[in-house]
Amino acid sequence: KAPFTGVPGTDKERTFIAIKPDGVQRGLIAAIIARFENKGFKLVALKMLWPTKEKAESHYADLATKPFFKGLVAYFSSGPIVAMVWEGKDAIKTGRVLLGATNPAAAVPGTIRGDLAISVGRNICHGSDGPESAVHEIANWFAPEEVSDYPRSLDEWIVSDN
Ligand code: IDP
Ligand code: MG
């Protein structure tokens, strides 16, 4: 059985994806989930929660020295978010591709931010940027029993290298 944070580099790679408070307020939950679901990734955990300032700070700990950190923590804890774990081959890297560039002004059309957002301070979604942050973020927001390890009969129609 895979550790609940996933196994990077395998079909069990897992990434933490969140719909930020602005994405929830704007009614974009279903639209954002659909991008990941339609792509073929497997949803293994999902919940709505209102982040405390402390949890937002630990989530973004690596950005603590940035000038925008205080505002970022206020933004991320300003309302409920939808926290998710998505699984699949290259889920971390490809998840970032689906989100688009951090600044929506630079995000290409076809990406979530490129299609649905304008401003870097209101870019509607979050995705882990590498294997270490995926492990840290999944463990920051989820308990092991909240992540479901399950087979999908469709998997052989979604993943093959030959
Ligand atoms: P990412 O979300 O694409 O991984 P990071 O550099 O990790 O981008 O930054 C985390 C979040 O901080 C961004 O998604 C965005 O909401 C916010 N942010 C990043 N840069 C700026 C900035 O220059 N001004 C305001 N907010 C920023
Ligand atoms: Mg980041």
Cα(78)–Cα(50) distance, integer angstroms: 8
pLDDT at 161: 83
Write the pLDDT tens digit of every residue in 106-123.
Answer: 999 999 999 999 999 999
pLDDT at 1: 75
Ranges under pLDDT 70 in the chain: none
Residues flanking ligand 1, CB < 6 Å: 63, 68, 72, 102, 120-121, 123, 126, 129
Query: 94 — phi, psi (to 5°)?
Result: -70, -30
Q: What is the ipTM of this complex?
A: 0.98
pLDDT at 162: 81
pLDDT at 9: 96
pTM: 0.97
Q: For a substitution probing ligand 1, which of 59, 68, 102 has the most ligand atoms within 8 Å of its CB? A: 102
Nearest atom of ligand 1 to the alpha carbon of 99: 3
